[in-house]
C-alpha cells in the first residue's frame, strides 16, 4: 500500500501532472508575471483588500460553465479592491487583463459642460497601478479606463489629484458585453503620462463606480497578469 | 511697600542664555518629534486605508489642509508661549545669581556692607543666607 502510494506520488511529481483537484486554468497563454489572478477559487477575493470610497460596490467571483471572473456591480457607489504588490516597472513593465463592461454609468447632459466634470469621473471599468511615495500625498497613479466617450489613448489628469493620470485604453460602447483584452507597458505609459520614469510600484487596484452620476455600472474582470518582461 | 520685582527678564548673562535655550529646546524638540510623528503616521495610515487617489483627494486632503491651517496659526503662538515660559524659568535662577554676584562684587570693592538680600521667594535665598552667615563669622 505504501509502495503504491509512493509510486503514484512519484508519477505525479516527475511527470509534472497535477492532481485533478489541483488542476488550475492557466490565466492566459502569455508569459507569467509576478502575480496572476484568474478568479477560479471562490475565495479569490481574499487576496484583495476592499477600500470603500462612497458606498459599496459589490465585487463577487462569478462562475459560468467555462469561466470564472470577477464581477463588479455599482449602484451609485464607489469602492475598489486593492492587491499589494511591489515590483520594479523598469524590469517587469508589462501588465495585461481582460475586462467586459455590461453597463455604463448614465451621465447626464451636464457632463459635457464645464460643471459636469465630476460625473465624467464615473467609469464602468478602471484598472490602477499605484506608486506609493513619501509623503503619501506625492503618491502617483496610472489608471487605465474604459471610457464610453473619450478617444482611445487619451491621457487625462484627474482634476482633484494631479498625480493621478488616466489613460483611455478602451473606448466607446461597440464592445459592450464583450470580453476585451488589454496589454500595457506601464513603464512607457508612466513616462508618457508623467514625463519621467516611475519608481517602484506598490499595488494594483480595480474599481467600477457610478456614484457621481448616481446611476448603475457593471463590469467584469479576468485573467490579470502583472509584472512580466516583454 | 517696595516693589521688589526685577524689571528686566533677560539679563544677558551666559548662565541665563544657556538656561533659556536649554528650557526652550527641551520643550520644543520632544514636542516637535511627537507632533511630526503623529501628523505623519495618522495621515499616512489614513491614506493607506483609502489608497485610491480619488478617495485621498476627496476625503483626506481637505482634512490635511484644515489641519495645516490650524498648525500654521497655533505653531507661532505656541513658540512664543514656550519662549516666555523658558524666559521666566531661566530668570528665576539667573536673576538671583546675578544679584548675588553683583552684591559680592560691591562687598569685595568695599562699597557696600551688610548682608546680601534676596527676595523671599527667590530660588537661591537659602544659598544667600548661608553666604551671609559665612560673612558674619
CA distance B68 to B62: 10
Report CA Rg, chain A. Answer: 20
User: Is A13 part of a structural domain of the chain?
Assistant: no
CA distance A147 to A76: 17
Q: C-alpha cell of B78?
A: 505656541
CATH number of the CATH domain containing A204: 2.60.120.200
In this structure, are residues A31 and A38 in contact, taking their beta carbons and an 8 Å threshold?
Answer: no
Is the pLDDT score of A17 beyond 50?
Answer: no
User: Is A5 part of a structural domain of the chain?
Assistant: no
To the nearest whole angstrom, how far is the Cα of A164 from the nearest Cα of chain B? 7
Please name the residues in contact with A30: beta carbons below 8 A apart, sequence gap of 6 or more: A96, A183, A225, A228
The whole-number pLDDT of residue A230 equals 83
The whole-number pLDDT of residue A119 equals 60
Q: Name the band, by pLDDT with cuts 50, 70 and 90, for residue A153.
A: very high
To the nearest whole angstrom, how far is the Cα of B32 from the nearest Cα of chain A? 17
HSE-CB at A45 with a 13 A cutoff on CA atoms is 18
Q: How far is CA A227 from CA A40, A203, A205, in A?
A: 20, 11, 14
A119 in reach of chain B (CB within 8 A) = no
Tell me how crowded residue B77 is: count the other CB atoms within 10 A of its CB.
Answer: 9
The whole-number pLDDT of residue A193 equals 97
A135 in reach of chain B (CB within 8 A) = yes
The single residue listed with the C-alpha cell 508618457 is: A192
Interface confidence: ipTM more than 0.85: no
Domain total of chain A: 1
Q: C-alpha cell of B110?
A: 568695599
Q: What percent of chain A has pLDDT over 90?
A: 71
pTM of structure:
0.76
To the nearest whole angstrom, how far is the Cα of B64 from the nearest Cα of chain A? 10
Is the pLDDT score of A121 beyond 90?
Answer: no
User: Is A14 part of a structural domain of the chain?
Assistant: no
Is the pLDDT score of A158 beyond 70?
Answer: yes
Report the residue from A136, A163, A205 with minimal CB separation from B52.
A205
Instruction: Compute the mean pLDDT over every residue in chain A, rounded to the nearest whole number.
Output: 86
CA distance B37 to B137: 59
User: Is A12 part of a structural domain of the chain?
Assistant: no
Report the residue from A135, A137, A207 with minimal CB separation from B52.
A207
Task: Please tell me the total number of residues recorded for chain A in this structure.
Answer: 230
Is the pLDDT score of A116 beyond 90?
Answer: no
Is the pLDDT score of A76 beyond 50?
Answer: yes
The whole-number pLDDT of residue B123 equals 83
Which residue ranges make up each domain of chain B?
14-136
Report the residue from A49, A53, A136 with minimal CB separation from B54.
A53
DSSP codes of every residue in chain B? ------S-S----HHHHHHHHHHHHHHHHHHHHHHHHHHHHHHHHHHHHH-SHHHIIIIIHHHHHHHHHHHHHHHHHHHHHHHHHHHHHHHHHHHHHHHHHHHHHHHHHTS--S-----TT-TTHHHHHHHHHHHH-
The whole-number pLDDT of residue A3 equals 52
CA torsion sign for A136, A140, A144, A148 is: positive
The single residue listed with the C-alpha cell 486554468 is: A25
A82 contacts in chain B (CB < 8 Å): 51-52
B51 in reach of chain A (CB within 8 A) = yes
| Chain-chain contact of A139 with B40 (C-beta, under 8 angstroms) | no
pLDDT tens-digit profile, chain B (137 residues): 455 566 688 888 899 999 999 999 999 999 999 999 999 999 999 998 899 999 999 899 999 999 999 999 999 999 999 999 999 999 999 999 998 999 899 988 989 888 888 888 888 888 999 999 998 88
B58 in reach of chain A (CB within 8 A) = yes
Q: Name the band, by pLDDT with cuts 50, 70 and 90, for residue A173.
A: very high
Edge-to-edge order in the sheet of strand A140-147: A49-54, A78-87, A201-209, A125-131, A140-147, A164-171, A155-157
Full domain range(s) for residue A185: 30-228
A135 contacts in chain B (CB < 8 Å): 40, 43-44
| Chain-chain contact of B53 with A163 (C-beta, under 8 angstroms) | yes
Beta strands per DSSP E along chain A: 35-37, 49-54, 58-63, 68-75, 78-87, 94-103, 125-131, 140-147, 155-157, 164-171, 180-185, 201-209, 216-228
The whole-number pLDDT of residue B1 equals 45
The pLDDT tens digits of the residues spanning A23-55 come to 444 455 567 889 999 999 888 999 999 999 999
CA distance A213 to A159: 17
User: Is A25 part of a structural domain of the chain?
Assistant: no
What's the CA dihedral at A150, A152, A156, A159 to 10 degrees?
30
User: Is A4 part of a structural domain of the chain?
Assistant: no
Q: What percent of chain A has pLDDT over 70?
A: 82
Interface residue of B47, B50, B53 to substitute, partner A, most A CBs within 10 Å: B53
User: Is A38 part of a structural domain of the chain?
Assistant: yes
Interface residue of A59, A161, A164 to substitute, partner B, most B CBs within 10 Å: A161
| Chain-chain contact of B54 with A164 (C-beta, under 8 angstroms) | yes
Amino acid at each position: 500500500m505504501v509502495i503504491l502510494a509512493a509510486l503514484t506520488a512519484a508519477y505525479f511529481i516527475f511527470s509534472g501532472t497535477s492532481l485533478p483537484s489541483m488542476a488550475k486554468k492557466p490565466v492566459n497563454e502569455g508569459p507569467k508575471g509576478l502575480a496572476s489572478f484568474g478568479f477560479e477559487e471562490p475565495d479569490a477575493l481574499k487576496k484583495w483588500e476592499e477600500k470603500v470610497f462612497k458606498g459599496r460596490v459589490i465585487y463577487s467571483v462569478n462562475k459560468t460553465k467555462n469561466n470564472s471572473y470577477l464581477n463588479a456591480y455599482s449602484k451609485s457607489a464607489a469602492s475598489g479592491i486593492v492587491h499589494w504588490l511591489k515590483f520594479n516597472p523598469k524590469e517587469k513593465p508589462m501588465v495585461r487583463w481582460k475586462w467586459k463592461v455590461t453597463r455604463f454609468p448614465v451621465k447626464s447632459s451636464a457632463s459635457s459642460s464645464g460643471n459636469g466634470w465630476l460625473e465624467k469621473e464615473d467609469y464602468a471599468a478602471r484598472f490602477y497601478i499605484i506608486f506609493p511615495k513619501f509623503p503619501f500625498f506625492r503618491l502617483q497613479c496610472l489608471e487605465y479606463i474604459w471610457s464610453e466617450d473619450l478617444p482611445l489613448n487619451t491621457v487625462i489628469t484627474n482634476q482633484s489629484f494631479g498625480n493621478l493620470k488616466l489613460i483611455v485604453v478602451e473606448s466607446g460602447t461597440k464592445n459592450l458585453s464583450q470580453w476585451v483584452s488589454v496589454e500595457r507597458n506601464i513603464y512607457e505609459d508612466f513616462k508618457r503620462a508623467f514625463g519621467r520614469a516611475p519608481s517602484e510600484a506598490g499595488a494594483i487596484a480595480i474599481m467600477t463606480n457610478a456614484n457621481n452620476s448616481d446611476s448603475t455600472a457593471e463590469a467584469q474582470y479576468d485573467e490579470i497578469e502583472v509584472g512580466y518582461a516583454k | 511697600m517696595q516693589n521688589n520685582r526685577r524689571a528686566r527678564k533677560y539679563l544677558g548673562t551666559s548662565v541665563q542664555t544657556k538656561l533659556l535655550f536649554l528650557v526652550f529646546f527641551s520643550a520644543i524638540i520632544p514636542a516637535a518629534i511627537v507632533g511630526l510623528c503623529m501628523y505623519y503616521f495618522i495621515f499616512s495610515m489614513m491614506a493607506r486605508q483609502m489608497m485610491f487617489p480619488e478617495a485621498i483627494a476627496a476625503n483626506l486632503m481637505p482634512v490635511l489642509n484644515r489641519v495645516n491651517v490650524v498648525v500654521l496659526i497655533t505653531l507661532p503662538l505656541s513658540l512664543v508661549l514656550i519662549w516666555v515660559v523658558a524666559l521666566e524659568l531661566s530668570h528665576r535662577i539667573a536673576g538671583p545669581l546675578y544679584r548675588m554676584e553683583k552684591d559680592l562684587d560691591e562687598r569685595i570693592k568695599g562699597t557696600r556692607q551688610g548682608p546680601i538680600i534676596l527676595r523671599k521667594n527667590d530660588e537661591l535665598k537659602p544659598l544667600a543666607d548661608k553666604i551671609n552667615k559665612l560673612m558674619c563669622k
